[in-house]
Amino acid sequence: MEQPEDMASLSEFDSLAGSIPATKVEITVSCRNLLDKDMFSKSDPLCVMYTQGMENKQWREFGRTEVIDNTLNPDFVRKFIVDYFFEEKQNLRFDLYDVDSKSPDLSKHDFLGQAFCTLGEIVGSPGSRLEKSLTIGAFSLNSRTGKPMPAVSNGSGLWMESLRTTGLEASGGVPGKKCGTIILSAEELSNCRDVATMQFCANKLDKKDFFGKSDPFLVFYRSNEDGTFTICHKTEVMKNTLNPVWQTFSIPVRALCNGDYDRTIKVEVYDWDRDGSHDFIGEFTTSYRELARGQSQFNIYEVTLLSFAVESECTFLDYIKGGTQINFTVAIDFTASNGNPSQSTSLHYMSPYQLNAYALALTAVGEIIQHYDSDKMFPALGFGAKLPPDGRVSHEFPLNGNQENPSCCGIDGILEAYHHSLRTVQLYGPTNFAPVVTHVARNAAAVQDGSQYSVLLIITDGVISDMAQTKEAIVNAAKLPMSIIIIGVGQAEFDAMVELDGDDVRISSRGKLAERDIVQFVPFRDYVDRTGNHVLSMARLARDVLAEIPDQLVSYMKAQGIRPRAPPTAPARSPPQSPTRTPPASPLHTHI
């Protein structure tokens, strides 16, 4: 029987972190009590969705629904399919129009109102169903018509808003006026949940080794939209054989083909060499649809599919839609190594012109994760300071001063409490993490039924002082519904934080290994944009520290055998409406 070789020697074939495509969600739009713009009948509404670029902040038309005749309460049939990233702030805009002709020019139609939200707001709402008031905003209206101007090209295929601030005489609207309600529902596409399990063998492969048989392994690539290929899986090496039978493996369908059943999948066959110069034996192409037909043979090199099966797995969005809340807690370093807050050199210095590193990091992470907590009340703790009135040193004090309830209202509430604490406590030391980790772990341990998952954000400037105690606290927390994010600010060496991260070596304490990797660390200095573009750099920081949270949540739920709850029942849809007709322009169905 051939023995598999350790795959660590295949490092040049390692796929990049985050190479698995995002899951896809389908957004359904309904409206209630729209403005009635028609004289002798009701409005004929159309909804246009826009996405916002992260770098240039320009709005780009993503797609249009169909037009529904003669109704103020449309339930649009045409959906918007978008890529979903938990770790990114994906801004969306929805504009409603009363269509008066077949013209694709939106300025030819009556503007009914608009709403702004993020994709995270939609999926994080109860049952992934968000209701928002439609309003008429003045910031993007045409001076002549009083309507938004989304159809302005910048020459590179992007659609931009006109930033002209103008009157509303032509539309009869009033800035900020409510114009009905928009209802947005998000549903994860079913094939994004699928996991394929398969096994391959080969017969009579080419002999590449001079003194023995080949040591073959397979490398799988999915094709991209631009014709390039991205590695998505590699098998183990089978030693000294020309007739290998590789082990069965499983892979998400979205990683294999991005959910496109006819997309090309390329498989390369190599002969492993110890020095890394692996010999190419051959390749073949296939597709998910072809693989799903079952056992087949690829004739060139006699590589045979022995088995193929697909089953659906529970995803992060299944748990969120079923009501799982993410409890966000922040812990801020108040040790003296930060410097005197009244001095501009201090990491805690409160400039009247810009946020400091602590506030920037907190805002970047908080503004994304806040949408997954319905009450928006977030505990905020400090550590390493002397507290009034007696100068007692604390490593677990509430920023709002309330020992019974350290929760603050929203991210702005945390920032307000943080600024208040800077004026009332004395920075001291040492840098101890264990108390705040234990604090959050205690709360996480109280609810382990899958309805809540805790995320602790620690922002620190220094070298950790209680490494042994912190490692023990993390090992204990790894079996709880909990994740930890550490952001290091300043120029200190953060070697200990890298050890806590556990990406290379899972941390242990007293001979006990952590059940899961629950810590993600990044140094803030890696995201400092010297051009002053904090928006883009903080978006990258949030993306990197939050990217692992969905998988960590799902890994805990699976380990505990917890399945998603049924989502809350949505209100019944309206009865059938007037016939629909083709929208005035073909919708743009490219993805975010």
CB atoms within 10 A of CB 421: 23
DSSP 59-118: EEEEEE--EESS-SS-B----EEEEE-TTS--EEEEEEEE--SS-S-GGGSEEEEEEEEE
Proportion of the chain in helix, strand, coil states, percent, rounded to 5: 20, 35, 45
| pLDDT for the residue 586 | 33
Do 319 and 371 touch, CB atoms closer than 8 A?
no
Pinpoint the alpha helices (H) of 143-280: 253-257
Q: pLDDT tens digits, residue range 375-426?
A: 999 999 999 999 999 999 999 999 999 999 999 999 999 999 999 999 999 9
Residues 86 and 167 in one domain: yes
Same domain, 528 and 404: yes
Q: Are residues 261 and 340 in the same domain?
A: no
Whether residue 390 is contained in a domain is answered as yes
Rounded to whole angstroms, the Cα distance separating 95 from 71 reads: 16
Among left, alpha and beta (phi > 0; psi -120 to 50; other), residue 283 is beta
Question: Which three-class secondary structure state does DSSP give residue 342?
Answer: coil
pLDDT of residue 167: 32
Q: Point out the domain boundary residue: 121, 156, 188.
A: 188
Q: How many CB atoms are closer than 10 A to CB 495? A: 9
The pLDDT of residue 462: 78
Distance separating alpha carbons of residues 534 and 526, to the nearest angstrom? 12
Q: Are residues 363 and 399 in the same domain?
A: yes
3-state secondary structure of 365: helix
Are 354 and 503 within one domain? yes
Q: Residue 91 is part of which domain span?
A: 23-188
Token pair 């959906």 in the structure block, residue: 79
| Helix, strand or coil, per DSSP, at residue 238 | strand
User: The whole model's pTM is what?
Assistant: 0.78
> Is position 577 within any domain?
no
Instruction: Examine the fold and report which residue of 278, 312, 346 is the final residue of a domain before the chain moves on.
Output: 312
Beta-strand pair 303-312/426-427: unpaired
Residues 164 and 202 both lie in one domain:
no
Does residue 182 share a domain with residue 198?
A: no
**Looking at 291, 312, 333, which one is the last position of a domain?**
312
- How many domains is the chain partitioned into structurally? 3
- Do both 380 and 517 map to the same domain? yes
CATH of the domain at 72: 2.60.40.150
Report if residue 336 sits inside a domain.
yes
Calculate ∠ Cα 414-417-423, nearest 5°. Answer: 145
Residue 8 resides in a domain: no
Can the peptide bond before residue 175 be classed as cis, meaning omega within 30 degrees of 0?
no
Mean pLDDT by groups of 10 residues along the chain of 592 residues: 45 50 90 83 92 88 95 95 93 95 92 96 95 77 48 34 34 60 94 90 78 86 87 92 93 88 93 86 91 67 81 92 96 96 95 92 95 95 96 96 95 97 95 97 97 97 92 97 96 86 85 93 87 80 93 95 83 49 36 28
Q: What is the CATH number of the domain that holds 502?
A: 3.40.50.410
Cβ atoms of 525 and 491 closer than 8 Å: yes
Q: Are residues 293 and 389 in the same domain?
A: no
Q: Are residues 94 and 138 in the same domain?
A: yes
Residue 586 token pair: 């073909």
Angle of helix 467-477 relative to helix 434-446, nearest 10 degrees?
A: 10
pLDDT in tens, 446-474: 999 999 999 999 999 978 999 999 999 99
How many whole angstroms separate alpha carbon 331 and alpha carbon 362? 10
Question: Is residue 267, in this structure, part of any structural domain at all?
Answer: yes
